[in-house]
Each structure stands twice: as structure tokens, then as C-alpha cells.
Copies of this chain bind each other. A is one copy, B any other.
Amino acid sequence: MTNAHDEIFRTLADPTRRAIFERLCREGEKTVAALTAKAGVSQPVVSKHLAALKRAGLVRDRHQGRQTHYSAEFGALAPLVDWANEMTSFWEKKFDALEDLLKRMDQ
């Protein structure tokens, strides 16, 4: 398999989309109109980005009358953090191995 992280990375790679996600994280639930007001792009584009974020599991939507409220999905970034920590841990293991080697050379 290509990693499950694939969709998360690809979804967050677009600046406009990531900015929308950031706003939802910082300011909580927002309607499409509210997001569009400061997104710098047209409403259909915002809707498209929100659909992409939803597909990636990064946001959830709640319908109320004519409006759709979007909010950030808690824990959605966990896989990303886990992956980054895993990558970093490999470096640390290498440094540990180097340390061991140096210790053995000291003896």
C-alpha cells in the first residue's frame, strides 16, 4: 500500500485548503459563507476544499437549515504526528548506535 498518510499530506499541501483547516482549528465551527468571506477564493472553491478535507477525515459537517457548519475533526492529525515521530526516532536510534560504537572504541 501507499501509506495512509498519503491523503492527509496531499490534502494539507494546498495553502488555501490548509488555511481553511487552520481557521476551523483556531476559531471552531464555521459556516461556508463565513469561511468564504476571508478565504480569498470563490464560494464553490471553498465548498470543494471542504469536501476534500472531509474526504481526508480532517473536518466534519453539520447541516442546519440552509447552512452547513464545518468543524475540525479531533485527532485527525494524529497519524501525521505519529509518522513524523517515527521518522525522527530512526535518527535517534542511529545516534544511540553511534554512541554505543564510541563507547566500545573507548574501551
Chain A binding surface, main DSSP class: helix
A83 to chain B, nearest CB (A): 9
Interface contact B10-A6, CB-CB below 8 Å: no
Task: Give how many A residues have a beta carbon under 8 Å from the other chain's beta carbons.
Answer: 27
Known A-B contacts A3-B15, A15-B3, A18-B3; the reply to A26 vs B85 at CB < 8 A is no
Q: How far is the CA of A7 from the CA of B74 in the complex (A)?
A: 25
Task: Report A's interface with B, CB cutoff 8 A.
Answer: 2-3, 5-6, 9-10, 12-13, 15, 18, 21-22, 25-26, 28, 72, 74, 77, 80-81, 84-85, 87-88, 90-91, 94
18 CB-based A-B contacts, threshold 8 Å? A5-B18, A6-B18, A10-B13, A12-B13, A13-B13, A22-B87, A25-B87, A25-B90, A25-B91, A26-B90, A28-B94, A72-B87, A72-B90, A77-B84, A77-B88, A80-B80, A80-B84, A81-B84
